[in-house]
Structures are given as C-alpha cells and as structure tokens.
Structure 1
Amino acid sequence: MPSARFTGVQTVAIPVQDQDAALAFYTSTLGLEVRFDAELQAGFRWIDVAAPHAPTSLALVRAGNGLSAGIDTGIRLTTPDASAAHTALTEAGADVGELLLWETAPPMFSFRDPDGNTLYVTEVPPG
C-alpha cells in the first residue's frame, strides 16, 4: 500500500469564543497579518492570520460542538528576540509567563490569548 506524502503544514486551528476579539488580539497585539476572513456559509466564519512571509497560518475558529477554547495549543511562534517580545506582550497587557533563560535551550516563554489558549514563543536567530 502506498504511503501518504505530506510536504508541510498549512494551517493550525485555534478555538476562540469571540472571533472579532481574537482577530484584534492576534493582529494588533501579536502583529500577525490577516490572510483570509470570510463567512463561508451562514454562521461559519473562517479567519486565517500569519506572521508576514510565514508559510503556516493560524485559523481562528469559533469554539463549540466539542471544540473548546482555553487549550494548550502546542504552537510555537518564533522571534529573533524573545526578551523584546516578552516585554512587548507584557506591556500590551497580555497574560505572559516567565521568560525562561536556560543554558541548553533558546530563550522562550508562554502566553495566553484572551480565550485562555496557551501558545509559546521561542527565540530563533535570524538567518
């Protein structure tokens, strides 16, 4: 039997209660750009946001029907300066965890969006 051949990850869904509030947070606070925002059918709005030039987007999907908000998404966003990102999110009033500075790992921290979904930030040097 032939095996499936996958070449990447296009979109990861994040369940949210209020798509407008989530959209404001992910664009204004996190600086992501809107890639797609449309009502595909009555009551079903699809929103994709992403870091500029990033191949993978985040879909802000409405929670419900067994899809709960307030989850640990496991999503790792990257930045060239975790300390600066930590300061910026803290100053913006985001629910930010401790900046972790371990010898054997890059600087990183977690944060929660307005729905309590946990995401992570990891420092990746440019280039």
Structure 2
Amino acid sequence: MSAARFTEVQTVAIPVRDQDAALAFYTGPLGLEVRFDAELQPGFRWIDVAAPGATTSLALVRAGEQLPAGVDTGIRLATPDAAAAHAALTQAGADVGELLLWESAPPMFEFRDPDGNTVYVTESPAG
C-alpha cells in the first residue's frame, strides 16, 4: 500500500463567533493580511488570513455546535521579537499571557483572541 503524498499544510481553521470581529483582530493587532474573503454560499463565509509571505493561512470559520469557539488551537505563530509582539498585543488590549523567558527555549507567550481561542507565539530568527 502506498502512502498519500502531501507537500505542505495549507490552512488551519479557527472557529469564531463573529467573523467580522475576528477579521478586525487578526488583521489589526496581529498584522495578518487577508488572502481570501467571500461568501461561498448563503450563510457560509470563508476568510483566510496569513502573515505576509507565509504559505500557511488561518481560516476564520464560523463557530457552531460541531466546531465550538474558545479552544486551544495549538497554533504557533513565529515572530523575530517575542517581547515586542507581547508588548504590542498587550497595548492593543488583547488577553495576553506571561512572556516566558526560559534558558532552554526561545521566548514565547500565549494569547486569546476575542472568542477565547488560545494561540501561541514563539520567537524565531526567521520570524
């Protein structure tokens, strides 16, 4: 039996209650860019946002019974300066956790979006 062949992770979905509010947060304080925003059928809007130049995007999909908001997404965003990102999100009023400065790991922190979804930020030289 041969294995399926995949080349990358294209999109990761984040469940949100209010797509407009989520879009404002992800493109405002987070600085992501809109890659796609359209109503594909009545009541079904698909929004993709991504870091400039990134190949993987985040889909801000409408939460529902089968896909509730307020989850730990497991998503890690990379930044060249975790302290600056932490300060910017704190100043923007985001629900931001402690900036962790461990000797054996890069600087990192977590934040929650307006729907309570947890996202992580890790400092990476490549950003």
In the alignment, what sits opposite 1:38? 38
In the alignment, what sits opposite 2:23? 23
Deviation at 1:5, TM superposition (A): 1.0
Q: Distance in 2 between matches of 1:4 and 1:21?
A: 37
Deviation at 1:57, TM superposition (A): 0.1
Structure 2 residue 99 is the aligned partner of structure 1 residue 103:
no
- Write the mapping of 1:1-127 to structure 2, written as runs, cut at 5 A: 1-126=1-126
Q: Distance in 1 between matches of 2:101 and 2:121?
A: 12
**Which ranges of structure 2 fall in alignment gaps of 5 or more residues?**
none
Deviation at 1:124, TM superposition (A): 0.3
RMSD between aligned alpha carbons? 0.9
Deviation at 1:28, TM superposition (A): 0.7
Deviation at 1:126, TM superposition (A): 3.2
Q: Distance in 1 between matches of 2:122 and 2:100?
A: 10
Deviation at 1:4, TM superposition (A): 0.7
Aligned partner of residue 106 in structure 2, secondary structure: coil
Aligned partner of residue 29 in structure 1, secondary structure: coil
- TM-score under structure 2 normalisation? 0.98
Runs of 4+ in 1 over 2 A off after TM superposition: none
Deviation at 1:119, TM superposition (A): 0.1
Q: Distance in 1 between matches of 2:73 and 2:65?
A: 18
- TM-score under structure 1 normalisation? 0.98
Q: Distance in 1 between matches of 2:121 and 2:115?
A: 18
Identity of aligned residues (%): 83
Q: Distance in 2 between matches of 1:10 and 1:107?
A: 26
- Count residues with an aligned counterpart: 127
The residue type equivalent to 1:55 in the other structure is T
Q: Deviations over 1:56-91 (max 9, x none)?
A: 000000001310000000000000000000000000
